[in-house]
């Protein structure tokens, strides 16, 4: 992972985790408030029940004419029994300063529930229940919330990391393809440029022009022209004007054959044509790029000293070459941009992408048939003009 990818990953995880933390914090606050309310309601019910139990025990002792035995609750609550003058009779309260004017209240340390009896029982007029405020339950609630948030953040970080890896994968692959495209572009341009420089250097030392040198210059110039046409189409296709016109496809194919004839001969190959007159209504420049790219590929992937056959008949153009062929799996991806079926040959991996984009634009059906180590045929079926 390079520096930019790490920076993007950290940025994504930071925003993703921060937004998740804010959302979880809001949920935690709402849950905490609801939990505290529930704890306080439960505490109030328990304190009220404790006072009722104490009142029932007082009534039972009075009815049975027995001595009352003070029995405070065994949980965190404490009990205090007071007479009408608010003097302590029985008590295990931690704080004896009780506000008898209140039915329920709490201070910094404790909560209180005060029950005033309508008729004193065995001298008891007030039953006071003291509680520590359920601090343990509140601490437990806070601990649960914090541990849940921490676990959730760790889970979110893990999911965010996996998501970022998934999201960065196609970008990384795209960048790798672009880097390879740049390397291949440099290599493709360097070859004819080097040939041109060598040829021009040799011309300076010659009194007469050597036909072989002139041929090298011509081939190199045509290769550079083909590279330029391919790159310019990718760069300016969306802004270039489309000018559809009626023309004979046969003439356009013959023009491409004349252009590539010297390039074919430099590899020891030849081009054989069988063409019928085929009037079409298309953009001539775009159609020329389609034929040039198919013919360039056919020559590039042909075995040396073989023939490339071009057949134009019944609105179907076939370009056939003898070479290593294309397996079925590669046939599904060769039309994708930056995809190359062979790493041993040069190229940008954009020629067939151009072919497919133009064919899709004009409803031209394109098909590939290939036999490994024998031959490959590209079929273009054109719609007949109305």
Question: Tokens 């022009």 appear where?
Answer: 209
According to the model, what pLDDT value does residue 71 have?
Answer: 85
DSSP for 39-58 reads: HHHHHHHHHHHHHHHHHHHH
No. of H helices and E strands in the chain? 7, 12
Sheet containing 270-275, strands listed edge to edge, beginning at the edge strand earlier in sequence: 270-275, 307-313, 316-322, 375-381, 365-371
Q: What is the pLDDT of residues 320-377, one digit of tens each?
A: 999 988 888 888 778 876 555 554 454 445 678 888 888 998 999 999 999 998 999 9
The span from the CA of 280 to the CA of 248, in Å, is: 6
Q: Choose which CATH entry (3.40.50.620, 1.10.10.60, 3.40.640.10, 3.30.565.10) describes domain 211-381.
A: 3.30.565.10
pLDDT of 289 > 90? The answer is no
According to the model, what pLDDT value does residue 154 have?
Answer: 87
Q: Domain locations in the chain? A: 3-133, 211-381
Q: Which residues contact 142 (CB under 8 A, 6 or more apart)?
A: 32
Beta bridge mates, 275: 312
Q: What is the pLDDT of residues 153-208, one digit of tens each?
A: 888 888 888 887 787 777 777 767 666 665 555 555 655 666 555 556 556 555 55
According to the model, what pLDDT value does residue 309 have?
Answer: 95
Confidence of residue 75 (pLDDT cuts 50, 70, 90): confident
């Amino acid at each position: 992972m390079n520096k930019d990818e790490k920076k993007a990953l950290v940025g994504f995880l930071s925003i993703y985790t921060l937004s998740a933390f804010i959302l979880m914090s809001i949920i935690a606050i709402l849950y905490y408030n609801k939990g505290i309310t529930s704890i306080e309601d439960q505490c109030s019910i328990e304190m009220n029940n404790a006072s009722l139990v104490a009142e029932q025990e007082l009534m039972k002792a009075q009815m049975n004419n027995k001595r009352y035995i003070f029995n405070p609750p065994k949980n965190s609550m404490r009990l205090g029994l007071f007479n009408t003058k608010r003097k302590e009779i029985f008590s295990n309260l931690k704080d004896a300063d009780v506000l008898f004017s209140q039915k329920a209240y709490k201070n910094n340390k404790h909560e209180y529930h005060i029950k005033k009896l309508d008729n004193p029982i065995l001298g008891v007029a007030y039953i006071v229940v003291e509680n520590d405020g359920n601090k343990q339950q509140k601490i437990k609630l806070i601990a649960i919330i914090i541990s849940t948030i921490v676990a959730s953040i760790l889970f979110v970080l893990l999911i965010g990391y996996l998501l970022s890896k998934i999201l960065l994968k196609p970008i990384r692959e795209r960048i790798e393809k672009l880097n390879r495209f740049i390397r291949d572009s440099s290599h493709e341009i360097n070859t004819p440029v080097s040939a041109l420089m060598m040829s021009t250097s040799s011309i300076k030392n010659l009194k007469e022009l050597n036909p072989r040198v002139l041929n090298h210059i011509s081939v190199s110039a045509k290769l550079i022209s083909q590279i330029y046409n391919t790159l310019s189409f990718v760069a300016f296709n969306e802004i270039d004007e489309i000018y559809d016109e009626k023309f004979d496809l046969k003439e356009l194919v013959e023009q491409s054959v004349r252009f590539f004839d010297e390039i074919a001969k430099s590899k020891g190959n030849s081009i054989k044509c069988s063409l019928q007159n085929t009037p079409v209504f298309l953009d001539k420049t775009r159609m020329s790029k389609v034929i040039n790219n198919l013919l360039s590929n056919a020559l590039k992937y042909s075995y040396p000293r073989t023939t490339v056959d071009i057949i134009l008949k019944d609105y179907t153009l076939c370009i056939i070459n003898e070479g290593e062929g294309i397996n079925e799996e590669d046939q599904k991806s060769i039309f994708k941009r930056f995809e190359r079926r062979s790493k041993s040959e040069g190229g940008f991996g954009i020629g067939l992408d151009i072919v497919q984009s133009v064919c899709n634009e004009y409803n031209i059906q394109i098909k590939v048939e290939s036999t490994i180590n024998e031959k490959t045929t590209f079929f273009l079926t054109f719609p007949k003009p109305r």
